[in-house]
Structure 1
Amino acid sequence: MKRILVPTDFSEHAENALKAAVLIAKKTKCELFILHLLEVPNQINDTITGGSSIPEEMLFIKKANEKLQKITEQPYLAGISVNVSVQYERTFSGILAFNKKNKIDLIVMGSHGTSGIEELLLGSNTEKVVRLSEIPVLVIKKDVRDLKFKNMVFASDFSPETKKPFIKMRDFAAIFDANLFLVFICTPNSFKTTLDAEKIMSKFIKNYEIKNYSLHIFNDTNVENGIVNFSKTIDADLIGLCTHGRTGLAHFFTGSISEDLVNHVTKPIITFKI
């Protein structure tokens, strides 16, 4: 991991994400990229390319750059390589384009928790970034003063296609020397006996070098509740999930589960693309 992106709308939630990114950067010696996106009228292109002046839009750009400069002067960023940028695109598409151009390894986004992501990522932008991003996305829900990455949950069906996401989750846990709890959620609509679930998980994990881990099977009414309730029982600091691109979360992670968890769960969530 070399480069971390933090999109910001200058809100408290975005600052929480930045502080979480700083924790990771200090562990990995990553560069931080702070991005502010301006969804301005198409006429701004005339200004950028030397056309007639548009005072209002230029004022927005100036203010955004001033705020970004103030962010870089915060004491908690001391000793960290920080790059700032203002882009003129829609939020989710701008983030995805910036990732590819700058070879970002991790996105860290701020969220309002149970109310969903506000200001920075309104409505479907949250689900779009999580669902379409080719790189891991970490969503932070609260002030990071009490944030620690000691107990991490990885919820999966442990199918072959989750191997690459699991490796990324394993490596992320290793950065913090965290305890990794691997959990298979059983529901009435996706039932497996304990014996069958144990065989699937044991076969999956034997292919990897990993320490500080444990295997768990958890029964609940549905997958979302299972992930939330299991995470509470072990006092998880972070929940890891696999995403499956345009079709949502793989196998039992279907429908609105990904969006519901990202928008409603108060714990930090990290997602990995299959």
Structure 2
Amino acid sequence: MKRILVPTDFSEYAENALKTAALIAKKNNSEIYLLHLLDLPNQMNDAITAGSSIPEVMLFIKKANEKLQKITEQTYLDGLTIYTSVQFEKAFDGILTFNKKNEIDLIVMGSHGTSGMEEILIGSNAEKVVRMSEVPVLVIKKDAKDLKFENFVFASDFSEETVIPFKKMLEFTKAFNANLSLVTISTPNSFKNTLEAEQKMNEFVKNYEIENYSLHLFNDSNIENGIKNFSKKINADLIGICTHGRTGLAHFFNGSISEDLVNHISKPVITFKI
């Protein structure tokens, strides 16, 4: 986890994401890439495509770079390597393009409380990034000063297709020496027998060297509520789930969690692509 991407719209939510990225970077000796995306009016985009430099475009670039420079001078970033970039793309496309071009290992995104993404992350952009990103995406809801990753919940069905995201999750967990609670959610529509579920989880984890972990089967009305309520029960600091690009957010347990999970749960959520 050497390269961390933080998209910013200069809001307080983006700053919360950057503060979190700084904590992670200091734990892992990582570099931070701070990205601002300019979605300009069509006529300005046409000018850029044609190679023109119109005054309005140059002003946007200048102001954005000035704001980025000011951000890099914040004390919580002291000692870290920070790269800044301004690009002319829509949020979703720009984040994924930058991610591939710069071989990013983790994306950290800010969110507005429990009511959804704001500014550059508005509407379906965040859901698309979470669903389509090939690298883990960490969504942050609050100021990093209150964050701690001591109790980490990872919800899964522990099937064969979750092996790769599980390995990525373990890499993240080790950086914080977190207590790991591995949970399968049993619902009326997808009932799990306790003995069979425990056997499946034990068979899955025996292939890995894991410290400070526990296995759980939790019953609830649906998977989304199960993850929320189990996380609340154990006072989790962070929730991890798998994502599946074909069907949306967190496809597992022979079903799919509502894409509202990231928006509506108050705790930080990190997603790992299957």
TM-score band, normalised by shorter chain: over 0.9
Q: Which residue of 2 aligns with 1:40?
A: 40
| Structure 1 gap segments, 5+ residues each | none
Q: Check conservation: 1:6, 1:18, Cα contact below 8 A.
A: yes
Pairing 1:250–2:251 present? yes
Cα deviation for residue 108 of structure 1 reads 0.2
Pairing 1:16–2:49 present? no
Q: Which residue of 2 aligns with 1:176?
A: 176
Matches within 5 A, 1:67-146: 67-146=67-146
Letter in 2 for 1:86: V
Letter in 2 for 1:144: A
Matches within 5 A, 1:194-205: 194-205=194-205
| 32-41 vs 42-51, greater mean Cα deviation | 42-51
Q: Check conservation: 2:112, 2:118, Cα contact below 8 A.
A: yes
For normalisation by structure 1, the TM-score amounts to: 0.96
Q: Check conservation: 2:8, 2:34, Cα contact below 8 A.
A: yes
Q: Which residue of 2 aligns with 1:186?
A: 186
Counterparts of 1:55 and 1:273 in 2: how far apart (Å)? 42
What SS class does the counterpart of residue 260 from structure 2 fall into? helix
Q: Check conservation: 1:156, 1:183, Cα contact below 8 A.
A: yes
Q: Check conservation: 2:156, 2:252, Cα contact below 8 A.
A: no
| 103-112 vs 55-64, greater mean Cα deviation | 55-64
| Structure 2 gap segments, 5+ residues each | none
What SS class does the counterpart of residue 58 from structure 1 fall into? helix
Counterparts of 1:123 and 1:86 in 2: how far apart (Å)? 22
Alignment deviations for residues 168-216 of structure 1 (CA, whole Å, 9 cap, x no partner): 1111111000000000000000001111111111111111111110000
Cα deviation for residue 244 of structure 1 reads 0.8
Task: Give the root-mean-square deviation of aligned CA atoms.
Answer: 1.3
Letter in 2 for 1:101: K
Counterparts of 1:7 and 1:85 in 2: how far apart (Å)? 10
Counterparts of 2:95 and 2:165 in 1: how far apart (Å)? 21
Cα deviation for residue 58 of structure 1 reads 2.3
Counterparts of 1:173 and 1:47 in 2: how far apart (Å)? 43
Q: Check conservation: 2:251, 2:257, Cα contact below 8 A.
A: no
Counterparts of 1:58 and 1:44 in 2: how far apart (Å)? 12
What SS class does the counterpart of residue 17 from structure 1 fall into? helix
Counterparts of 2:77 and 2:98 in 1: how far apart (Å)? 22
Alignment deviations for residues 14-47 of structure 1 (CA, whole Å, 9 cap, x no partner): 0000000000000000000000000113433534
Count residues in correspondence: 272
Letter in 2 for 1:194: T
For normalisation by structure 2, the TM-score amounts to: 0.96
Counterparts of 1:135 and 1:81 in 2: how far apart (Å)? 20
| 221-230 vs 111-120, greater mean Cα deviation | 111-120
Counterparts of 2:257 and 2:88 in 1: how far apart (Å)? 30
Q: Check conservation: 2:187, 2:223, Cα contact below 8 A.
A: yes
Counterparts of 1:23 and 1:45 in 2: how far apart (Å)? 40
Alignment deviations for residues 106-130 of structure 1 (CA, whole Å, 9 cap, x no partner): 0000001211011120111111000
